[in-house]
Amino acid sequence: MYLAAKQLLIKIDEIIELKEKMFELYLKNQQEKYVIFKNKLESLLYNCTINDLVTVIAICNIGRCERGHRQLADGSTEFFKIDILENEDQLLEKHSKYLRYKTKEELTFYILRNSAVHQNLSEGKLILNF
C-alpha cells in the first residue's frame, strides 16, 4: 500500500495546494475565486479512483492521529513527538481499514468539507517519509 501511496504524491500535492488556496480565500472572503479552486478540486477528486481516495484520507488520518498534540488556552496547537511503532505499510493499513466501506461520494465529500485536510496531509507525508 505504501508504494501505491507514493504513486499518488503528485495528486496529494495538488490537493494540498488547492485546499491551502481555498482556505486562504475563505479567510479573505473572496467567494468567486474560492469557487474556482473548489471546482478544480472537485474535478481532481472525481477523476480519482475509490482506492486513491481511501489512500489520500488514510494519509490525512495518519497526519491527524499519529502526532502528539494538544490545544492551548490561547487557541494555538502544541505538537510534540511520540514514538510511532508501526511501519509505513502498517500505518496505511490501520488508517484505511474502515474507509473501504465508504462510497466514493462520501470520501470525496470528506476531502471537500474538511478544512484541515491540507495540514493533515502535509503532516501525514512527513510521518510516512514522503
Encode pLDDT of 43-56 as tens digits.
Answer: 999 999 999 999 99
Q: What pTM, to 2 d.p., does this model score?
A: 0.87
Instruction: At 125, list the grid cell.
Output: 507525508
Residues 6+ apart with CB under 8 A from 79: 67, 68, 69
| Cβ atoms of 5 and 93 closer than 8 Å | no
| pLDDT average, residue stretch 30-39 | 95
Helix%, strand%, coil% for the chain, nearest 5: 70, 5, 25
Q: 90-100: per-residue pLDDT in tens?
A: 999 999 999 99
pLDDT value of residue 80: 74
